[in-house]
Structure 1
């Protein structure tokens, strides 16, 4: 998971092993939830979530109650987004390589890594290349 400021600078980047994770959707929702929690701590009124998982973005954008196995996480994400401007942005996997790299390290390593102000060394080059600019209207 990588958290950026409005100019694309890295605020926080992290990976961790999810010991009980059923599929990619659950992993994506965990990353989004953790990212939103960290964003709220920085008091950003606009939260833009860039993800290559259209299903996750649709689930957290939808106003209906999600009764899936991940409904509790989706509900928590929606609650955290209350009174904030939420901008879901679907990006391609090619535009999301740093998050993919961090997820792979989290899956392979039995550790947690958190870096403030910069990505972990394993993703430093990708963090610069993957900075996707989005214009809010």
Structure 2
């Protein structure tokens, strides 16, 4: 059984719905999964090193910057060695804005810059996930779990 951490920032509940679909899939695969919310839980970047896989969900609005509640976490990422760590990014946004789901790109770029190995897809959903999007979340989780089995 592998240890997986799912972190989430969700303003409207859309990214949280994605995270819960991902968590549910991972639990069905018999992995130990911990879910934490940037809004309600204390999240220390050092915790990332305790897990075989870390998946980070953020919402995007306005100019697409990292959500306020995840800013400190983002800024502190460079304080830990993420070289070779398995990670993934996902989230929701609205194409009404100039850049769609930019916070997912910003987070993913930072993780890659720090040497993390990312799930190939940066999963993005327009507003509230529908049934097709939930299936995409499950496929994302499946790919993430497959990465663990290849590496470990």
Normalising by structure 1, we get a TM-score of 0.30
TM-score in terms of structure 2 length: 0.28
